[in-house]
Amino acid sequence: MFRGSIVALVTPFDARGRLDEKALGELVEWHLAEGTAGIVPCGTTGESATLTHTEHERVVERVVEAAAGRVPVIAGSGSNATDEAVELTRHAKKAGAAAALLITPYYNKPTQEGLYRHFAALARAVDLPQVLYNVPGRTAVNLLPETVERLCEFENIVAIKEATGSVQVTGEIVRRCGDRMTVLSGDDFANLGLLAMGATGAISVTANVAPADMAALFAAWDRGDVAEARRLHYRLLPLHSAMFLEGNPIPVKAALGLMGRIGPTLRLPLTDLAEAHLDTLTAALADYGLLKARRA
């Protein structure tokens, strides 16, 4: 159902820490011009954990408005409380999102049966295409391929963002569910390998700063130009590393600030990128051609 470079969009704040709707709309327009195939607001990169419910809903609404049906908007609406996830997903549908991105419940560490029942409840409660999101490095729980296969019984569970970075896990999901479920990479460094295993695209952090090249990589793969896809993958690798000099989204917001796309404001407990890392990030952006000159 989903293909290509789908950006895990940052949420811009002004200098006082308030939602910057103007900058948000401008980011969406830039991504559309650069070839981004889909937009995910209110994911990890969008600082969903520090948004109020009102802000969360407004971010989804603003991105849907700005996209205006030109690309699918996959609204982050997951939670570690099933009822809360249902309400956020209902709002995503009401706002006009094409689908919802549903992270595995974090912190409370449910069993595989609990994970199954959580996602089953969401599928039954909201008639909207739903994308599972497995990122055990952040949630402390791993959605196993056999549980994903059980969830294929629900027609509106259409995809999974697989962020273990594991070729083996991705291959197992494709083997079990490939005819019923789209698989998307959730780790930019693994994009090319996961495409080889049957993924069709990625929900990408690096697409925030290099959207055109990210889009070009997947377009090259789709037309069978593996050499060009590989060239772009290796060209992008230093940026992938730079985006994780510290916890996401600290580096990517710093990068967009250096590029003049947004103010780099974060909300506590996230803090500004450390000075030593800022020098490394600036060098990576400049080497890629995203800055006019390296920071002095």
Q: Which residues are catalytic?
A: 133, 161
What dihedral do alpha carbons 213, 214, 220, 221 form, nearest 10°?
Answer: 160
Positive or negative, the CA dihedral 165, 167, 169, 174 is positive
Distance CA 131, CA 159 (A): 5
Position of tokens 């697409």?
A: 207
Q: 78-94 b/e with 16+ CB inside 10 Å = b?
A: bbbebeebbbbbbbbbe
Q: Is beta strand 99-103 parallel, antiparallel or unpaired with respect to 157-162?
A: unpaired
Could you give the strand order of the β-sheet that contains 182-185, starting from the edge strand earlier in sequence? 38-40, 4-8, 201-204, 182-185, 157-162, 130-134, 99-103, 74-76
> 32 with 71: CB under 8 angstroms?
yes
Q: Which residues pair with 38 in a beta bridge?
A: 6
Strands 99-103 and 201-204: unpaired
Phi first, then psi, for residue 131 (nearest 5°) are: -115, 115
- What residues are paired with 101 via a beta bridge? 76, 131
Instruction: Cis check for the bond before 269: say yes or no (omega within 30 of 0).
Output: yes
CA distance 209 to 261: 9
Helix H or strand E encompassing 132: strand 130-134
